[in-house]
Amino acid sequence: MSLTMTDSDFEKMKSLIYEKSGIHFSESNRPILESRLKERLKIANHDNISDYYKLITRDEEEMKILLDSVTTNLTRFFRNTAHMQAFEYYIIPEIVEYKKKIRDNTIKIWSAGCSTGEEPYTLAMILSEILPSGFNFSIVASDLSLKSLMTAKTGFYPDSRITGVPDKYLARYFEKTSGGYQIIDNIKKNIKFDYHNLKFDSGLKNLDIIFCRNVLIYFDDVAQESVVNRFWSSLGGHAYLVIGHSESLFGMKTNFKFHKTDWATFYIKMTD
């Protein structure tokens, strides 16, 4: 099917997607939007964008499916070793010390924009290795891609997706099955996967760490700043925010403090 997206169609679609999710389509990624729309129109049996636009403005489910189809879900286990080292050797030891002082033994983490689950599972595996006895953790992992969340919840990954997992972790936290690897229940039980659109408040409070890597990059400055300020409200008074290595809070009105370690950089909220 040939699809013609006029300038006015593009403006309408891009504004609606931005309003619903914060995802910003610039002129240079217009072809991506065009090709995803083409697929959706075919499936939804529409042959022009105006009719499809009317459909998504009244049908919330189709809007969700469209948002899912325009996201980029690329991820992998142990993505960005430096971040994982900073988590293991700096952030967690710091939080454990703080929690001992306030007599709280649960570390609360949010993996925001978790895609197919590799990021929260990586965090859970590292925590299972290093947390001192008496401590436990809970992870909320969220995304607006329902397709990705389904994979995440299943916790099954084909052989090709396992690259980068150290052998020790593969042996302890996965079960080999035909064609791939299954995350064991002992890891899964600590993670709650949920649909959440970062355009809105999550209601989460008093978290110790938020990982939101390679997500802000899809938002414009205004949307990024409001997401980051909502993260501030979701964190407790002694907490950490890790964003992607090509992302930054530079130029934003925020109270987060930039922090550099031997491994990686991230942001700190210290009000306690």
Q: Report the interface residues with ligand SAM, using CB under 6 A.
A: 21-23, 71-75, 79, 113-115, 119, 143-145, 148, 197-199, 213-215, 218
CB of 75 or CB of 234, closer to ligand SAM: 75
Amino acid, single-letter form, for residue 72? T
Q: How far apart are CA 243 and CA 224, in angstroms?
A: 11
CB of 212 or CB of 238, closer to ligand SAM: 212
Q: How far apart are CA 34 and CA 167, in angstroms?
A: 42
Pair 212, 112: CB distance under 8 Å: yes
CB of 113 or CB of 236, closer to ligand SAM: 113
**Residue 96 beta carbon to ligand SAM: minimum distance, rounded to whole angstroms:** 24
- Which of 199, 263, 193, 233 minimizes the C-alpha distance to 64? 199
**Residue 197 beta carbon to ligand SAM: minimum distance, rounded to whole angstroms:** 4
CB of 238 or CB of 241, closer to ligand SAM: 241
Q: Is 239 left (phi over 0), alpha (psi -120 to 50) or beta?
A: beta
Q: 239 by DSSP, 3-state: which?
A: strand
**Residue 134 beta carbon to ligand SAM: minimum distance, rounded to whole angstroms:** 30
**Residue 164 beta carbon to ligand SAM: minimum distance, rounded to whole angstroms:** 11
- Which of 161, 163, 166 minimizes the C-alpha distance to 148? 161
The 10 Å CB-count burial string (b at 16+, else e) for 136-153 is ebebbbbbbbeebbebbb
Eight-state DSSP code of residue 252: -
**Residue 109 beta carbon to ligand SAM: minimum distance, rounded to whole angstroms:** 13
CB of 78 or CB of 137, closer to ligand SAM: 78
**Residue 199 beta carbon to ligand SAM: minimum distance, rounded to whole angstroms:** 5
CB of 147 or CB of 172, closer to ligand SAM: 147
- Which of 248, 210, 209, 230 minimizes the C-alpha distance to 22? 230
Q: How far apart are CA 128 and CA 131, in angstroms?
A: 6
